[in-house]
Amino acid sequence: MGVRTWIEGWPVYRQLTGTDPLGRGAAAQSERSRALTARTETADSVARSVCPYCAVGCGQRIFVKDGEVVQIEGDPDSPISQGRLCPKGSASKSLITSDRRQRKVLYRRPYATDWEELDLDTAMSMIADRVLAARDETWEDADEDGRPLNRTLGISSLGGATLDNEENYLIKKLFTAMGAIQIENQARI
């Protein structure tokens, strides 16, 4: 290590001679921090997204490397949020990557005291069977005066305010066509 390098190794020297007189940026950087690279720089791709919590609609940039979300940042282009996120939006990467997240279908039999695992296709098939059975058991063709009802009151659904418009559209479309009317979401709450 030469004398010059040794002197330049002092933050105070860099602070006095460089572009960072307050010593809050380049002057305070160590060898190690200089060698670090932000995850946002090494990401393979960036998706333009929107925060999933409240309805302000802050812009998010989701950074992906090797098929995994590695970072979520506020989108500085957004006229809504100007790059800012609140504590929840800032924590939203954990929403995707947390170990606590459920990644398997779970099934609780009637009267069981615990969960068991179930194959997704089997679960879908079982649910379809139950929907049709509930519908058949509770179907109403007409009211007492013969006016059409064409419905079931045996099936309910709650949820939608955290979902996409396209999803709500399919939910309402399918339930309406099958005659299920008890479809609700947080907007009623």
Binding residues among 37-76 for another protein as defined by CB under 8 A: 45, 47-59, 62, 64, 67-69, 72, 76
- Tokens 């572009």 label which residue? 19
Q: Footprint of another protein on residues 5-44 (CB under 8 A)? A: none
**How far apart, in whole angstroms, are the C-alpha atoms of residue 18 and residue 23?**
9
Contact with another protein (CB under 8 A) among 15, 27, 73, 180:
180
Distance of CA 172 to the CA centre of its chain: 22
Phi, psi (deg, nearest 5) at residue 60: -125, 145
Specify the stretch interacting with another protein by CB under 8 A; choose among 8-16, 20-28, 30-38, 180-188.
180-188
Residue 77: DSSP 8-state? T
- State the nearest-atom distance from the C-beta of 40 to another protein, in Å: 13
**Residue (28 or 171) nearer to another protein, CB:** 171
- State the nearest-atom distance from the C-beta of 77 to another protein, in Å: 4
> Which positions ≥6 away from 71 have C-beta within 8 Å?
38, 39, 40, 43, 62, 63, 93
Residue of 139, 151, 149, 140 lying closest to 180 (CA atoms):
151
**Residue (36 or 124) nearer to another protein, CB:** 124
CB atoms within 10 A of CB 60: 23
- State the nearest-atom distance from the C-beta of 38 to another protein, in Å: 17
> Which positions ≥6 away from 12 have C-beta within 8 Å?
23, 27
Number of residues that bind another protein (CB under 8 A): 117
Contact with another protein (CB under 8 A) among 11, 20, 23, 181:
181
**Residue (12 or 56) nearer to another protein, CB:** 56
Residue 171 in contact with another protein, rule: CB under 8 A: yes
Which residues make beta-bridge pairs with 116? 107
**How far apart, in whole angstroms, are the C-alpha atoms of residue 91 and residue 65?**
18
Q: Footprint of another protein on residues 71-130 (CB under 8 A)? A: 72, 76-82, 84-92, 94-96, 98, 100-115, 118, 120, 123-130
Specify the stretch interacting with another protein by CB under 8 A; choose among 2-10, 14-22, 34-42, 159-167.
159-167
